[in-house]
Structure 1
Amino acid sequence: MVMFDQCQEKRAAGITVTMIRDMGVDAIIGPTCSYPAIVSAINAAYYNIPIFTWGLSTSSALDNMGRFPTTGIMSVNSFSLGIAISSVLRSFEWDQFAFVYSEQGNSEKCEIMQTDVQNAIARTEDITISYVAEILSITNASIIRTLKDVSKRARIIVVCLAEGYGFKRQFIMAAKDGGFLTSEYVYIFADTKSQGFSVNLGAKERFIWEDPSDQKDGRDEEAKKAFLQTFVISDHMGMGSITDKYEGFSKLVISRMKDPPFNCTEECKGQEFQTASAYAGQLHDAFYAYARALNASLAQNASAYRDGAQLLSHIEMEFEGESGKVIMGRNGTRKPFFYFDGLDRNFEQVLHGTVFVDGYYASYKPLYTNEAELWNAWGGLRPLDVPVCGFSGDMCPRNFFLENLTWVIVGAFIVLCAIIAAVAGIIYSMQARRREIERLNQMWQIAFISLENINKKKGEASHRSLQSGVSSTSTRITFENLTERRNFNFYYYQKEQVAAMKHEARPRMAPEDCHEMRKMREVEHDNLNRFIGLCLDGPQLIFGIICAQLVTKSAPWDLDNRKEDPDEILYMVKKGGHMPTRPSLAVESDLELSPALLHLIRDCWTERPSERPPIDTVKSLMRSMNSFRNDNLMDYVFNMLETYASNLEAEVEDRTKELVEEKKKSDVLLYRMLPRQVAEKLKLGQSVEPETFDSVTVFFSDVVSFTKIAGRGTPLQVVNLLNDLYTIFDSIIDAHDVYKVETIGDGYLCVSGLPHRNGRDHIREICSMSLEFMKSLAGFKIPHLPQERINLRIGAHTGSVVAGVVGLTMPRYCLFGDTVNTASRMESNGKPGMIHLSSDANQLLQLVGGFQTESRGEVIIKGKGVMETYWLIGTTYEGQRQMFPVQEAPARNNRTPPPPPICDVPSSAPTRSVTPEYEGIYTEFKKQAVAFR
């Protein structure tokens, strides 16, 4: 039976009552508008008839389960859209935004969205709506006037406008004309019926920036570029990207319009009727969800086909529908997906992220790798929600330098002059000190040419002529009779008798050595031989003479071809002068010789020792002159040794890094086997004393029918099965304050409260972990037995234990005490798919709060006698019961009844109360189960 309410509340109310009372319908699919849907849902609740809304019924008022206990909502409500908007803004670190809307074109849609978005944002603590503005008339003047007001309070603007009238194009062009489309502004178009940047009007599809009017304004290219600075967040209703089947579904809808009850043949041949409505998928999914819930309800009570409350108790489901993935919550509300779209440089629509909304919470998943790509139209930088200088431009930080420019210039000039003076003073003092050091060094550096060898005959004659007594003659003769020794020689220096120590090699004089020489020269004492200085000019002078001998291939002074005798040559050398006497450098004409070598030889025997080049400079120049030739053997060996030493240092550094990395890996492995504090003591060679923990909670779990499962696979498959299962469990443990003690086959032993004491939180950690273990089994499949399902039997007990390290060769951290045995008994006496708690654990759990338990009654426990135990059912938050899914174990020999049905918890979405009919069935089932036990 199909009747149209034309989105009028009074017609919807009358049609609903007529269908229920006069036509006896079993269920109602519709209405498609929000206010008529509210009226119809109230009537359906009165008659306890199931009703499924779809289409434009986006009001969040329908989510009230107490007011609408028989209503299933297939449409996406605008409250969820508000939650999605807050999630997107939060990802970009925006704290505030403005909401702009207009009721023109669709008076109901944006009005409801404005209310729901405000309510959604009010539930967030970090995001606020700074301004809400309504555009009464979609004209350029009205839009610009509104944006002027908005610009004083926001830079992030969320916009709601009717689809298909060109309002969004007109809005963005008005923003451009008014100067509100700069890099400071971000516009986000929000909609619950949108395909992003394209508009589908029947069989005709156009882009959002195209002018829909008959009289084109010729600004489509401007509008196209303007939309680069906008985003769209919507549900992609009717888009092929939501489901690959939608195109085929659309064709099927058009072909079925010819069949009853529509019988649309001639009328539906027009081009505008060749595409299914965007909401056709929702209509299909509403019928499908109703059928599934009806089957589940009839399976429980065959006469409850018109019982709306009973049917809605089975509405929680998940399937791939024609309108996308459908996830229905326990309160009959659809958990929607939203899509965050933008345009790239080629004006192609790009999906930047998806948002899944579950009640008051949203999960935003970005699909981009580089956020800067989103802001290409904004200059590559993310805009701020509040400008640096504020919305009015009067909050810019004051520039101290501009305000005090005169004083800054004067101060800078003074500081600059002071710096220049200080630098000049430092440079002058350094140069003066360097000159003083050079002067003092010249005092102890003695030129070898200034040393006079002892000449016996000359000495005797001269000294005898000056003697005044016999004793003086004998003393002078005694000095002159001294001969050159192996390590010493004797000279006259400035007519003073001096003793000189020979050095096999020229000493290298560092600055510290020069400082020591200056200090030694100042030392004078009667009991000490006075230090006069060092002769350092020998190597350069000797080097020059030797080089001259090698170059000329003759003796240094060529005495055979000179007219002067040796004494005359010696006199001429000692005389010095501007042109001192030196060996000849006449080389043969056919000898290939670098002129630089001759200049170097002359520099080495200059008269002033200070002007002679250092020996290192001589060595460097000689190498540069010989660069085109091979080095000698010793140079080659030294180069090899230097290269080997450098490579050895690099290799040692690399090996050290590898050793550190391997140590880190071994430490990580050790910390997985033993608690960190225990492992650190063992590494230091310290003994680990056993420790008593007064209150911990011990956890045991066992895979049900593991022997049968293991018997149906190879050992390798069994190992892979346990590895996959325990990997999931280990990831859950990482999120809790729980220590994994060991695994033995399919057995799993954990404890909370040690080695780190956590007060009474250990029972909460174990219970939360146990519930997550059970929940994780819902999606776990056995690779080699895909039709089979893994089920667990879990037991927990609270008490005291003693923990310590056992063994030296392979140390293990073990637990001892009756608490461990009792926890094991809880597991072995439990039931598949259930979490078994002892009375001690339940008592502490009640003190902690937040969990729902149920008494099992008194049970005979081996080694313990009769004990009252409890089942852990789920968690409770804000007074509402939330239970986790527990898999039903297959009956063993048809003797073990299945556990009570436990529904999945819908994250943090608003929950609905359990109906009296369902509660009665649940209570009766518990009585039967207790009687069976």
Structure 2
Amino acid sequence: MQHIPLNVGGVLWDLSNYPYGPIFKSRHSLATLPFYNFLLWVLLGVLTFPCCVQCLIFKVGVLGPWNCDPVYSKALPALAAKLAVGRINEDFSLDLGSKLDFVILQEACETSKALTTFVYYEKMVDGFVGPTNPGYCDAASLLGKNWDKAIFSWACINYELDRIKSYPTFARTLPSPTRVLFTVLKHFSWANIGIVSSNEDIWIDTAGKVANSLRSQGLPVGIVASAGMNETEMESTLMIIMCMHSALIGGEQQTAFLLKAHEMGLTKGRYVFVPYDTLLYSLPYANTSYFPLQNNTKLRQAYDAVLTITVSSDLMSFNEAFNMAKRFEELTISLVPQQVNPLFGTIYNGIYLLAKAMHNARRAGQWLSGTNLAYFTRNMTFSGFNQKIQIDTEGESQTNYVILDSDGWEGQLYRSYLVDLSADMVRFAGKSIHFPGGSPPPSDSSCWFEPNIICTGGREPVSLRIQQIQLVKGPNRILLTLEDLTFINPQLRSVPIPYLQCIESCLGCEFVFVNFGVFTLCECVQMKDLRNENINPFLGFFTDCDMFAVVTEHCSRGSLQDLLRNDDVKLEWMFKSSLLLDLIKGMKYLHHREFPHGRLKSRNCVVDGRFVLKITDYGFNELLESQKSPKNLVPPEDQFWTAPEFLRDVENSRKGTYKGDVYSFAIILQEVVVRGLPYCMLGLTPAEIIRKVKKPPPMCRPTVAPDQAPMECIQLMKQCWSEQPDRRPAFDEIFDQFKLINKGKKTNIIDSMLRMLEQYSSNLEDLIRERTEELEVEKQRTEKLLSEMLPPSVAEALKTGATVEPEYFDQVTIYFSDIVGFTTISSLSDPIEVVDLLNDLYTLFDAVLSNHDVYKVETIGDAYMVASGLPKRNGNKHAAEIANMSLNILSSVGTFQMRHMPGIPVRIRIGIHSGSCVAGVVGLTMPRYCLFGDTVNTASRMESTGLPYRIHVNMSTVKILRSLNEGYKIDVRGMTELKGKGIEETYWLVGKENFTKPLPKPPEIKPGDNWQEMVTEEIKTIFRKANREVDKPKI
């Protein structure tokens, strides 16, 4: 690499070999430079280099569900990381430019929580090895791109992550698992596969990612389930991919699943079962017996139908590598390798890959940014934990895999095939697979694995494929991707976003794996063709990023339910009738187009910016039925709009009917008329209401007062919620009746709006001014409270949303004091008198503090804690500030009197200690600025071993006070036993030159005196004497 010299100010600088990039190097001694040149370059270095340039440690975060998943915890991530980091730091051939360190980061087992937690890890590490959950890999990689921090993961599946432009900081530590699966499937010509997962989020998300990835390569992935499956669903399936922990390493759900499959006769050769998680590590197989197979005959027989695909052990087996590390005393635990999850080696390899990328980036003179680290994983080969790791020039891992088999009678596995990813081939390894029944499952057509060929088994798949092509391309496409959409605020606020000249929003649904049939797709096309002023247009389905969502036009006023709950909107009858007429016209249009709604309710009716009501969430009945997904338990409050016949027949509840929609309309009519929730006037719980509606007599319906709506409207409402569906009118008849209710008057929403605007305009400014003032008062109150609870610098940081990191202070002085005999005083006082005592005393102390450079940390009971030297450092002055403050406090206490016990002196004892500590903000609901460290404990011991009216200090503080040479008067106390510290020589601070304020005289206490008991008796004696004088009769 050619070094480019830089000549500035007559000094030649060489910008070449800095650990994170070039550093300044002078051919002259800094001592010979003018001071201003030296200062200039120091400031230039600070301002131009990023923060990580000045740190000497590169910290790696190892991310996974280590705490919440017992099988993952057996991977011993901390031990694997410690072994890898230890070897890396001792490897002098690696030029990292800094010391490598690690931290174990916990990943929640729920995907949503895992992503939320990941965001908070940004400041803790410089790069990630993980995540383990593929459900949020895409989001994590986008965050990594924004932070410019490396994301090195073995578990991520989505091929989109390999796009450098979109995810420049992402790198794989292993080949994509679905790439390995596709290579094996292609070799055996098994195209029809099913996927089964356990019920944890991490495996459900894995199943979805695997299904989407294989489908994107043209394979007909059939069933994707998180529970058992029947033979009808499996009729065309040849391979079952099991997304759960392997039974060989303690996966209980896979064990139960295989035993159930064996019981159903599904392991006799018709199907091949493949565990997914073994793709993520190197399972030991040579000369290895597995306890679960040896001790369970049925499981051993079922495992004959299992093909295990795992990372090849090129160098040595996992067990051998683990034992070798123990022999060299790199691992000191007593565990045997059979008790360890082989993911241990994968974690090790991920950290080593990151270190090798750091080395390559350094050699190229590049910064250790996430983008550079991901780039410099290319064209790399090194020895991993127990196999050779190879990355090609495109950044794809070429690590080999093996296919392991069992004959069903032994507890061991043997190698049958080698999966050579460099050639995308499966090679015979010397021993044939033993298939149950003697022959493998029948092969599928090879056309499934040929690009640009429509592979089909009949007429319907051809039609389906043609329709799918039409649905994803062209102006009338229905299946939309991330590139087609621009998402708006999830709260659906009124933010205009252009898309095909309309405003759109995304409404999430409850399914992820969607099965489209020909009839379902035809219905979707018809739905998109629906056009009516009172129908919210259906724009398509969003089917990207493992999400499935319905895309519709965004209505800025929200739902009808939201509008009714908004007390700021005045709804007159004309306004209400306009909204109801819009609803009737929309339902009339849907029924004419043979689209029963089936889920009509007030929150499925949305209102646009012109206060026009539109119906949404229609037409998905066939789609919901096609999913065959279990019907989740619906809360009673969500069943208010469901017709009684469907409450009694849950199986057909998804099949909407015209008469069922009329019943739903009647409940919405009640909501609008009374402007309240359904059945709000009955005083019953939702469960009681649904039970009564479901099982009449008597018939349970809402009651509406005659003065709340025209009588004709109430009669229409009662007709529509009739118990007999045949007696409910059609929407054509409802439309005619409703027009008569208004007696021919036009329900013009604009006229109603103008009248409302006139009323609102008179008080709108007052309302805004009042709310603004309330907001400002509340803001000032919050800021004042925050500034009283925390140091000003910390409070300002929290107000701006910045994270307050714990801070180390090498030199501070801490003060503790308490009231001698406080327990006795409290026992002789009322609670309110104790509060008054502490309030008066601490007010006095606070006044003294305001004249010194100190920070009041906290008060707990009679204990008072103060520190100097933090959060603002003040050199060596911290000891002097605390000493001066202590003398002033002691002087002020000498003249202090309690209101309720004026004759009893208030004696305090003070302890001071100087040293280092860590300070940080603890808590979110009520954050506190807390101090931690041995200095705090020692200062507390100095106070508790002190004497009344004495300032107790130890040698650390005395040295600083003497070095300041300000005339502090210090007497030797002698050897004092400090709890937890042993016996030390301590001192009394008794005054200072030019300190003229009087100090209270300490009581004479001789060694061995029980002075606490003496103080207690003195307080009680004075108290009794004062009470006798009060009770003495006057003459």
Does the pair score TM above 0.5?
A: no
